[in-house]
Amino acid sequence: MKHTSKTLIALAIAAATSQAHAAGFQLNSQSATGIGRAFAGDAVIADNASVLSRNPAAMAMFDRPELSVGAAIADVKIKVSDAVYHGLIDSNLGSIDDAGSTKVIPNIYYIHPINNKWAVGVAAFSNFGTGTDTSGLNSANSPGFQNQFLGNTELTTINFNASVSYRINEQLSLGAGIDIIHGAGEIHRGEAIPTTGSLLDVDADGIGIGGIVGATYELNKDHRFGLSYRFSPTVNASGDVKKFGATGLDEIDVPVPDIFQIAGYHKVASQVALHYTAQWTGWSEFDRISSNGGEEIKVYNWDDSWLFSVGATYYLNPQWELRVGYMHDQGVVGGNSEPSISIPDSDRNWYTAGASWHFSKNSTVDFGLAVVRGKDVNVVEQGATVDLGGGPISTGALSATTNSNAIYYSLQYNYRF
């Protein structure tokens, strides 16, 4: 029984931890201006200090210190339909339409030009986070191996960044920065054997060190390009695992993918600008999660993914700017991937709008709204394989149809010193 419990705990930790890094839960919420234009051109537009989250080289375009403070509300709706546990006897677990949750995601950025060549900046923002609860699929709260798939998860990451930029000439600027990423989570899974208590209760957190490099090229003030490459770390997370003697799994290594993006901005008329972004995320690096002892916990074999976004800004008058955007974000689960009920991943389409109000000489308020729509996906997730003394056996599988949608609301204040 001890070996069974350890295996199921390992699987639950892997599934829950991966939610923070799945493309379906990757947070595009770093600024209200970015949300309003679907982050099209965000690595080079540099209309406020939040550009630091996308490209440190763009700090070279600031001639005065600037502070940006904001928050986004992510209202995530996750539906799991027609769930069936396939064990010795198939069990219909029903459907739920409220597996998602609402999160408040704050951010803060400060850019300080030192002279006409050098600038520095610091920031705190989030790239990943989720809150899901699929325990409603086991409405009777009955024990069983189906509980390895069901439960609630609360996960957040915070990216602390410090960066520097250098202007080589009027056209070319370079930048680099260091990322300190802190992740924390609470994970719970129900009981597998009657009267033995919860399968999993964990408080876990960890830190990883990464970095970012970037460049901008300005043809002139109305036409410019930017690119960046974020080197993401392997996060080592340690946890307080309760129940079933899980001391052997007190640490796990979670590889986080690198991110590359290229962006452009073009002011095509006196009041109109067009902008765009293409972003690649190297999810194929996230092939598996391993324990601190090197034990393979869960295989994913995800695919690399791209997102493409286009946007437009209308400079209505000196007080107001209006913006719209569209993004297509590819999912990461392909033909060789291992799908999971806890990761309702699919291609997603973003429809966004926003505005900026320059209510004084140095102060601006930004508003952003995004409606995100995913697709229905049929998922079959395989359970753990355990050895009860007579050889390895499967603990079953869970099939369901998943769908994930979201609405982002964002507000931001900018002050130029």
Question: Mean of the per-residue pLDDT values for the chain?
Answer: 83
Residue-number span of the structural domain to which 243 is assigned:
2-416
Under the banding of pLDDT at 50, 70 and 90, the label for residue 68 is: very high
- Is the pLDDT reported for residue 11 higher than 50? no
Tokens of 390: 């007579």
Q: Which residue has the higher pLDDT, 153 or 259?
A: 259
Rg for the chain (alpha carbons), in Å? 23
pLDDT given at position 304: 87
- Is the pLDDT reported for residue 166 higher than 90? yes
What does the angle CA 79 – CA 84 – CA 87 come to, to the nearest 5 degrees? 145
Task: Please write the tens of the pLDDT for every residue from 206-246.
Answer: 888 999 999 999 999 999 999 999 998 877 777 765 544 44
pLDDT given at position 142: 76
* Residue 416: other Cβ atoms inside 10 A: 17
Of the CA atoms within 13 Å of residue 381, those in its CB half-sphere come to: 30
Q: What is the rounded average pLDDT of the residues 264-276?
A: 97
pTM over 0.75: yes
212 within 8 A of 232, measured Cβ to Cβ: no
Under the banding of pLDDT at 50, 70 and 90, the label for residue 158 is: confident
Share of the chain above pLDDT 70, in %: 80
Q: What is the rounded average pLDDT of the residues 28-42?
A: 94
CATH number of the domain residue 360 falls in: 2.40.160.60
Q: What is the rounded average pLDDT of the residues 81-107?
A: 87
Under the banding of pLDDT at 50, 70 and 90, the label for residue 78 is: confident
- Is the pLDDT reported for residue 1 higher than 50? no
Nearest one of 246, 252, 295, 291 to 1, comparing CA atoms: 246
Q: What is the rounded average pLDDT of the residues 144-173?
A: 87
298 Cβ partners below 8 Å, 6+ apart? 10, 11, 14, 15, 18, 288, 289, 338
Nearest one of 55, 354, 270 to 175, comparing CA atoms: 55
pLDDT given at position 192: 67
Tell me, letter by letter, the H, E, C secondary structure of the chain: CHHHHHHHHHHHHHHHHHHCCCHHHECCCCCHHHHHCCCCCCCCCCCCHHHHHCCHHHHHHCCCCEEEEEEEEEEEEEEEEEEEEECCCEEEEEEECCCCCEEEEEEEEEEEECCCCEEEEEEEECCEEEEEECHHHCCCCCCCHHHHCCEEEEEEEEEEEEEEEEECCCCEEEEEEEEEEEEEEEEEECCCCCCCCCCEEEEEEEEEEEEEEEEEEEEECCEEEEEEEEECCEEEEEEEEECCCCHHHCEEEEECCCEEEEEEEEEEECCEEEEEEEEEECHHHCCEEEECCCCEEEECCCCCEEEEEEEEEEEEECCEEEEEEEEEECCCCCCCCCCCCCCCCCCEEEEEEEEEECCCCCEEEEEEEEEEEECCEEEEEECCEEECCCCEEECCEEEEEEEEEEEEEEEEEEEEC
pLDDT given at position 319: 97
The residue length of the chain stands at: 417
Q: Which residue has the higher pLDDT, 181 or 214?
A: 214
Q: What is the rounded average pLDDT of the residues 282-291?
A: 72
pLDDT given at position 25: 58
CA distance 209 to 180: 5
What does the angle CA 33 – CA 57 – CA 278 come to, to the nearest 5 degrees? 60
The number of folded domains in the chain is: 1
pLDDT given at position 44: 97
pLDDT given at position 180: 94
pLDDT given at position 3: 46
412 within 8 A of 50, measured Cβ to Cβ: yes
pLDDT given at position 103: 82
Under the banding of pLDDT at 50, 70 and 90, the label for residue 289 is: low
Q: End-to-end distance of the chain based on CA atoms, in angstroms? A: 64
Under the banding of pLDDT at 50, 70 and 90, the label for residue 164 is: very high
Longest distance between any two alpha carbons in the chain, whole Å? 76
316 Cβ partners below 8 Å, 6+ apart? 271, 322
pLDDT given at position 149: 79
pLDDT given at position 52: 96
- Is the pLDDT reported for residue 9 higher than 70? no
pLDDT given at position 29: 87
pLDDT given at position 350: 96
Nearest one of 260, 251, 319 to 289, comparing CA atoms: 251
Under the banding of pLDDT at 50, 70 and 90, the label for residue 4 is: very low
Under the banding of pLDDT at 50, 70 and 90, the label for residue 90 is: confident
Instruction: Give whole-number Cα distances, 391 to 387, 388, 394, in Å.
Output: 5, 7, 10
73 within 8 A of 91, measured Cβ to Cβ: no
